[in-house]
Structure 1
Amino acid sequence: MSLNKIIVGSEEWCGLPQLNIPAIKARVDSGAKTSALHAVNIIPFKKDGDPWVRYEVHPLQNDGKTSIHCESPVIDKRKVKSSSGLSELRYVIKSIISIAESTWEIDLTLTNRDSMGYRMLLGRQAMAGKMLVDPEASFQLGKLTPTLIENYYHIHIKKYSGLKIGLLASNPNLYSNRRIIEAGEEHGHKMEFLNIKDCYIKLDGENPEMHYRGGRILKDFDVIIPRIRPSMTFYGCALTRHFEALGVYTQNNADSIAQSRDKLYSLQLLINSGLPIPTTGFANSPLDTDDLIQMVGGAPLIVKLLEGTQGKGVVLAETKKAAESLINAFKSLRANILVQEFIKEADGKDIRCFVVNGKVVESIMRTAAPGEFRANIHLGGTAQKIKITPTERKIAILAAKTLNLKVAGVDIIRGKNSPLLLEVNSSPGLEGIEGVSTKDIAGTMIEAIEKDLKFRK
């Protein structure tokens, strides 16, 4: 009986001919019951009194400009738990699947799979009686060449009718950068990745210019979205400032980014706005180490490099002796540090509020991995959606406003008596928050730009 079944690997190309999708790469997952298809702009409607759904499919990963418009009858609404553990109510449709010259009908749930590695997931319901899976193999049925994929989809590529937007960053493959490019393309804008190290400036009173690798002059940009890594802050801000001088809208301006990266200066600005922070000390001389430790309540305490970000350059000193050694070691290296009280009640958790244009669009609780004190998903921590309190919402909004950031990641911990503000990130990552959220955060960033520029599609 198994001889009649199709042998597939953990990933395969298949087609959905009823949906006008000739090729889509699917993750073959026998651990998942239901199959899922990446869909955006999902809109229910009635046809002859029956429930239907209208939606767009971007069948190619990391490609928001190739778009298939689909309509299907709704056969069910089903609550599905994603790999991140969140339950979501999804529309269910039926479609013919084509694979290895065989076709049959399957159920598909519609969901935004931007945070996943594949545009389609093939679950065991669809495979039952039809397939055998070799989990160690992939593309058992063959790979598709870029030329063939282009032939399939060239007529479905969106024509740009929107803004010309440059993403100023360092790594085009970073999840956040890919998602912003994709979201911009989905909204009909022409997106271009601009590598910070490949940009250089012409300062001229009459004809200032921004040049790019090979001597190309960067012009006609409507928007620049700066996503500057910490090690490139000075140069990245110089480029952003020059784009501003050329009359280009920047989602976060250079001065706001620079002051957010200066931990000491940003904390001074934040407390001047009445925002609560953990007790923090700063000193230049090792002679003041003992008083500095006492100033923040003694050990355990946190030592932070002023230039660090995203959890890097943050160390927990559990005893007074360890704190003295750590502080003096940094001082001997002429490193600028902050010493901050350790909030034990936080229990290795913090809240990341994602603020866009003065509104908290999503909030997550991050929990540190066992043995870690930093709530960082890149260090093995976990994240989940959370409903924040009105006080926490006010703190997040005021923090972003104080630093004049249109897009900000505001980190808050829950102290013994009240929430405390840790820091504000001017280039907040999207992977963690989109991974547990049902919201299109990158799309929200693009919509905020459209609103600021009064852009009408």
Structure 2
Amino acid sequence: MSMDRIIVGSEEWCGLPKLNIPIINVRVDSGAKTSALHAVNIVPFKKDGTPWVRYDVHPLQNDGKTTIHCESPVLDRRKVKSSSGLVEVRYVIKTVLSIADASWPIEITLTNRDSMGYRMLLGRQAMSGRILVDPQASFQLGMVSPSVLEEHYRVHVIKPSGLKIGLLASNPNLYSNRRIIEAGEERGHHMEFLNIKDCYIKLDGNNPEMHYRGGRILDDFDAIIPRIKPSITFYGCALTRHFEAMGVYTLNTAASITQSRDKLHSLQLLINNGLPIPTTGFANSPLDTDDLIKMVGGAPLIVKLLEGTQGKGVVLAETKKAAESLINAFKSLGTNILVQEFIKEADGKDIRCFVINGKVVESIMRTAAPGEFRANIHMGGTAQLVKISPEEKRIAVLAAKTMNLKVAGVDIIRGRNGSLLLEVNSSPGLEGIEGASNKNIAGIMIESIEKDLKQKRKLAVK
């Protein structure tokens, strides 16, 4: 029986000829039922009254410049829970798989697979009766050289003709950072990852400069996208401020990032603008512990480190005794903390609204993993699209405006007395929001830079 079947390893090269994709590196996964293809800019439309979908495929790993524009009839739409816990509604198409000297029709779901590395996953449904897998092996059908790939795809490479945009961050392999680079390249811009630790400044009243590893002077960027992790906020904002002084457009300013990272200051700004937040206390003396607990309605309550982010430094104290011990322990370390009422009826859920240039472009409901109280996909939580109310939209837009952030992740929680604002994040992650929505959020970020710079140049001409 095995003589009639193709023997493959854990990864191989195959083709999707009907989609004009002659060769693509595929991850062979018998644990997955349906095959999946990396696709972005997924847009449904009607052709002769039937549903079709238009989408772009980047067939090569870590390459956003090589783009195949595709159109296919929609076979189905299915809810799929990814390995990271995201619940997506994916379009399903039917196409032809070409592998070795054989070809046959298969079903493929369209999804953004950037976080997975491989641009395509081959599931067991497509392999049934035709393929045997040797999981210890790879490339049983042969390797493909870079020159062959270049020959196949050179006509599909987008040549940079637009802006020069720098992504100022720490980890080039992070999903969000890869997607922003990819989205900029899709739109014809020259994108460059600038590692924060490799940048250094020349302060000069007449000729300020930004230097990079090896002595290179960074003096030709049109725009900078700062994505600064909390542990290097001071240095990252100093670099962002220096780019601003050099006349470079920054998607979020250093001042807006700095104030959003100061949880106490940001909460004070938000309540001064009439935004609803959970009752919060802040104190600096162990003697005030009892009154501090009463102030926020007693236990259970949340204790937050002022410098924490992405759910780190956030602890639930379920009893008064636990709250006292926790608050006093933090204070004895000289650590600044906030104490906040626990919204029990939220049931481990919160809403992340992604705001770009004053508009909520998408919203997801995040649900905490079993045993957790924080809705965080990095801690095993799940995410799915949610429809927000006009009041929640108002809160999200006003919160981003109050923080003066052009791009913000605004976190909202639903309580018995209405929706409350939890936090405003100046470097919101894209994986949860893009995974749940299949929307090209990174592309919308790049588009906002294009619009802002176009407007800025119009004003300069006047």
The answer as to 2:170 corresponding to 1:170 is yes
Q: Which residue of 1 aligns with 2:460?
A: none
Mark the CA change 1:179 to 1:235 in structure 2 (over 3 Å): closer, same or farther.
same
The 8 Å contact of residues 350 and 365 in structure 1, kept in 2 or not, is answered as yes
The farther-off stretch of 106-115 and 234-243 is 106-115
Letter in 1 for 2:89: S
The 8 Å contact of residues 75 and 94 in structure 1, kept in 2 or not, is answered as no
CA RMSD of aligned residues (A): 2.5
Task: Name the CA distance, whole Å, in 2 between partners of 1:105 and 1:298.
Answer: 64
Q: Describe the superposition over 1:317-361 as per-residue Cα deviations: whole angstroms up to 9, x where unpaired.
A: 122222222112211211111111111111111111111111111
Q: Which residue of 1 aligns with 2:103?
A: 104
Task: Name the CA distance, whole Å, in 2 between partners of 1:318 and 1:80.
Answer: 39
The answer as to 2:286 corresponding to 1:253 is no
Q: Which residue of 1 aligns with 2:296?
A: 296
Task: Name the CA distance, whole Å, in 2 between partners of 1:9 and 1:331.
Answer: 56
Q: Which residue of 1 aligns with 2:280?
A: 280
Q: Which residue of 2 aligns with 1:350?
A: 350
Letter in 2 for 1:347: D
Instruction: Quote the offset at 1:69 in angstroms.
Output: 4.1
| Match of residue 79, structure 1, among 72, 77, 80 | 77
Q: Which residue of 1 aligns with 2:213?
A: 213
The 8 Å contact of residues 37 and 108 in structure 1, kept in 2 or not, is answered as no
The farther-off stretch of 195-204 and 382-391 is 382-391
Task: Name the CA distance, whole Å, in 2 between partners of 1:149 and 1:278.
Answer: 55
Instruction: Quote the offset at 1:17 in angstroms.
Output: 4.1
The 8 Å contact of residues 409 and 428 in structure 2, kept in 1 or not, is answered as yes
Instruction: Quote the offset at 1:35 in angstroms.
Output: 4.1
The 8 Å contact of residues 52 and 74 in structure 2, kept in 1 or not, is answered as no
Letter in 2 for 1:226: P
The 8 Å contact of residues 369 and 380 in structure 1, kept in 2 or not, is answered as yes
Mark the CA change 1:75 to 1:349 in structure 2 (over 3 Å): closer, same or farther.
closer
The answer as to 2:183 corresponding to 1:183 is yes
The 8 Å contact of residues 39 and 110 in structure 1, kept in 2 or not, is answered as no
The 8 Å contact of residues 176 and 431 in structure 1, kept in 2 or not, is answered as yes
The 8 Å contact of residues 169 and 195 in structure 1, kept in 2 or not, is answered as yes
Task: Name the CA distance, whole Å, in 2 between partners of 1:282 and 1:40.
Answer: 44
Q: Describe the superposition over 1:114-150 as per-residue Cα deviations: whole angstroms up to 9, x where unpaired.
A: 4452322334454343212234544332443445434
The 8 Å contact of residues 45 and 54 in structure 1, kept in 2 or not, is answered as no
Q: Which residue of 2 aligns with 1:369?
A: 369
Mark the CA change 1:373 to 1:93 in structure 2 (over 3 Å): closer, same or farther.
closer
The farther-off stretch of 81-90 and 277-286 is 81-90
Which one scores higher on RCO, CA 8 angstroms, separation ≥ 6? 2
Letter in 2 for 1:200: Y
The 8 Å contact of residues 16 and 22 in structure 1, kept in 2 or not, is answered as yes
Q: Which residue of 1 aligns with 2:240?
A: 240
Task: Name the CA distance, whole Å, in 1 between partners of 2:17 and 2:421.
Answer: 52
The 8 Å contact of residues 62 and 179 in structure 1, kept in 2 or not, is answered as no
Q: Which residue of 2 aligns with 1:389?
A: 389
Instruction: Quote the offset at 1:104 in angstroms.
Output: 1.6
Task: Name the CA distance, whole Å, in 2 between partners of 1:406 and 1:171.
Answer: 22
Letter in 1 for 2:236: G
Instruction: Quote the offset at 1:46 in angstroms.
Output: 6.1
Mark the CA change 1:86 to 1:141 in structure 2 (over 3 Å): closer, same or farther.
same
Q: Which residue of 2 aligns with 1:321?
A: 321
Mark the CA change 1:46 to 1:421 in structure 2 (over 3 Å): closer, same or farther.
closer
Instruction: Quote the offset at 1:209 in angstroms.
Output: 0.5
The 8 Å contact of residues 91 and 110 in structure 2, kept in 1 or not, is answered as no
Task: Name the CA distance, whole Å, in 1 between partners of 2:259 and 2:405.
Answer: 10
Task: Name the CA distance, whole Å, in 2 between partners of 1:288 and 1:55.
Answer: 58
The 8 Å contact of residues 115 and 434 in structure 1, kept in 2 or not, is answered as no
Task: Name the CA distance, whole Å, in 2 between partners of 1:187 and 1:159.
Answer: 10
Task: Name the CA distance, whole Å, in 2 between partners of 1:37 and 1:79.
Answer: 14
Letter in 2 for 1:79: R
The farther-off stretch of 25-34 and 338-347 is 25-34
Mark the CA change 1:300 to 1:45 in structure 2 (over 3 Å): closer, same or farther.
closer
Q: Which residue of 1 aligns with 2:425?
A: 425
Consecutive unaligned residues in structure 1, runs of 5 or more? none
Mark the CA change 1:338 to 1:153 in structure 2 (over 3 Å): closer, same or farther.
same
Instruction: Quote the offset at 1:416 in angstroms.
Output: 1.2
Aligned partner of residue 75 in structure 2, secondary structure:
strand
Q: Which residue of 2 aligns with 1:415?
A: 415
Task: Name the CA distance, whole Å, in 2 between partners of 1:94 and 1:334.
Answer: 62
Consecutive unaligned residues in structure 2, runs of 5 or more? 458-462
Task: Name the CA distance, whole Å, in 2 between partners of 1:302 and 1:41.
Answer: 40
Instruction: Quote the offset at 1:288 in angstroms.
Output: 1.5
The 8 Å contact of residues 6 and 131 in structure 2, kept in 1 or not, is answered as yes
Q: Which residue of 2 aligns with 1:330?
A: 330
Q: Which residue of 1 aligns with 2:267?
A: 267
The 8 Å contact of residues 26 and 119 in structure 2, kept in 1 or not, is answered as yes
Provide the identity percentage.
77
Q: Which residue of 1 aligns with 2:448?
A: 448
Q: Describe the superposition over 1:355-387 as per-residue Cα deviations: whole angstroms up to 9, x where unpaired.
A: 111111111111111211111111111111111
Task: Name the CA distance, whole Å, in 2 between partners of 1:379 and 1:164.
Answer: 35
Task: Name the CA distance, whole Å, in 1 between partners of 2:402 and 2:165.
Answer: 26
Q: Which residue of 2 aligns with 1:360?
A: 360
Task: Name the CA distance, whole Å, in 2 between partners of 1:447 and 1:244.
Answer: 20
The farther-off stretch of 407-416 and 131-140 is 131-140
Mark the CA change 1:39 to 1:287 in structure 2 (over 3 Å): closer, same or farther.
closer
The 8 Å contact of residues 299 and 323 in structure 1, kept in 2 or not, is answered as yes
The 8 Å contact of residues 16 and 95 in structure 2, kept in 1 or not, is answered as no
Aligned partner of residue 231 in structure 1, secondary structure:
helix
Task: Name the CA distance, whole Å, in 2 between partners of 1:206 and 1:34.
Answer: 61
Instruction: Quote the offset at 1:449 in angstroms.
Output: 1.3
Letter in 1 for 2:252: N
Q: Describe the superposition over 1:86-128 as per-residue Cα deviations: whole angstroms up to 9, x where unpaired.
A: 33344x3534x3322x132424547343445232233445434
Q: Which residue of 2 aligns with 1:156?
A: 156
Instruction: Quote the offset at 1:172 in angstroms.
Output: 0.5
Instruction: Quote the offset at 1:417 in angstroms.
Output: 1.1
The answer as to 2:186 corresponding to 1:195 is no
